[in-house]
């Protein structure tokens, strides 16, 4: 009886955590050379805590990997490096800038979003190190294309994703077999929501880059978004610069990532805001995701996270 009571007392976060830890251990057991994608963003911070719970007191059975666009916020890169050093884990960084120099990435203009270009650099890193699985922090609630993902998402020898050629995952049984050149993208927090992530951050006392919390910065209003004023995103002719209290729901390429108006400066306050919002974080904050409903699915088919 006591066992039944203890199981019934578990919170939904306990169940999500247990599932994610099981998935991480499955990766470690079944895949020869995995890597964990770590950008310094909130979802990858949660992945690090889950990896700690899955494998400590030993080291992680995989390195951390970040594909750096070169357009990241300085605060996020500094946090990334500090957190990896604090954990004592190997951090591999591969840069879109290097792909540009090699000619494998060609941009139409210097300051355009490099989000899509990350796919090329990631595939180059997978080939360089022979990774057969990359663990990422994507969640199904983010947008429609990611809702189609399996937890173990099969990618062919060209690194491409076909949503119609994915493997069934009945009863949490995962098929991890891949031929040379093929790989898996694994998403342990697929079933989490943005609210779950913030509740877990609050429960675990996880540190995040300061951009996630309310701060005052110059912005302009553009297409219903608050665009941060930076050297990469200067105001356009006729736009008025305002200084507003904002926070970032997601941190990515500066050229396409926007904050939202907010006074929330703690996880508890963000939880209250998140509980009542009806706009997804990508829909509210990403300029490049607003251009087409199919944009993310197209990028994923080409090798994006």
Question: Can you give the pLDDT at residue 278?
Answer: 77
CA 76/CA 254 separation, integer angstroms: 11
Question: Can you give the pLDDT at residue 91?
Answer: 98
Question: Can you give the pLDDT at residue 292?
Answer: 46
Question: Can you give the pLDDT at residue 176?
Answer: 73
Question: Can you give the pLDDT at residue 126?
Answer: 92
B/e letters for 144-154, b = 16+ CB within 10 Å, e = fewer, are ebbeebbbbbb
Q: Is residue 2 left, alpha or beta, with left meaning phi > 0 and alpha meaning psi from -120 to 50?
A: alpha
Reading the block at residue 31, the tokens are 């895949």
Q: What is the crossing angle of helices 267-276 and 194-204, to 10°? A: 160
Average pLDDT, 10 consecutive residues per value, the chain (305 residues)? 48 96 94 95 97 97 96 95 97 94 85 82 93 91 71 73 67 72 86 96 97 97 93 93 96 90 96 86 58 52 55
Residue 151 per-residue DSSP state = S
Query: 245 near 269, Cβ under 8 Å?
Result: no
């Amino acid at each position: 009886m006591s066992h039944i009571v203890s199981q019934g007392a578990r919170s939904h976060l306990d169940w999500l955590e247990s599932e994610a830890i099981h998935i991480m251990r499955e990766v470690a057991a079944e895949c020869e050379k995995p890597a964990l994608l770590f950008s310094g963003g909130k979802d990858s911070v949660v992945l690090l805590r889950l990896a700690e719970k899955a494998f400590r007191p030993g080291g992680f059975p995989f390195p951390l990997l970040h594909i750096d666009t070169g357009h990241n916020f300085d605060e996020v890169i500094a946090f990334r490096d500090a957190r990896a050093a604090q954990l004592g884990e190997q951090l591999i960084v591969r840069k879109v800038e290097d792909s540009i120099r090699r000619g494998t990435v060609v941009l139409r203009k210097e300051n355009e979003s490099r989000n899509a270009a990350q796919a090329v650099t990631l595939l180059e890193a997978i080939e360089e190190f022979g990774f057969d699985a990359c663990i990422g922090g994507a969640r199904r609630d983010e947008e429609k294309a990611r809702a189609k993902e399996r937890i173990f998402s099969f990618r062919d020898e060209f690194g491409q994703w076909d949503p119609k050629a994915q493997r069934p995952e009945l009863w949490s049984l995962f098929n991890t077999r891949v031929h040379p050149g093929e790989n898996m993208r694994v998403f342990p927090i697929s079933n989490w929501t943005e609210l779950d992530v913030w509740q877990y951050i609050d429960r675990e006392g996880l540190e995040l880059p300061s951009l996630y919390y309310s701060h005052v910065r110059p912005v302009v209003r553009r297409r219903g978004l608050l665009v941060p004023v930076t050297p990469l995103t200067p105001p356009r002719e006729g736009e008025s610069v305002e200084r507003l209290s904002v926070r970032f729901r997601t941190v990515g390429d500066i050229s396409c990532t926007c904050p939202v108006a907010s006074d929330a400066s703690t996880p508890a306050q963000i939880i209250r805001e998140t509980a009542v919002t009806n706009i997804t974080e990508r829909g509210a904050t990403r300029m490049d995701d607003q251009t087409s409903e199919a944009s993310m699915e197209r990028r994923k088919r080409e090798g994006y996270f």
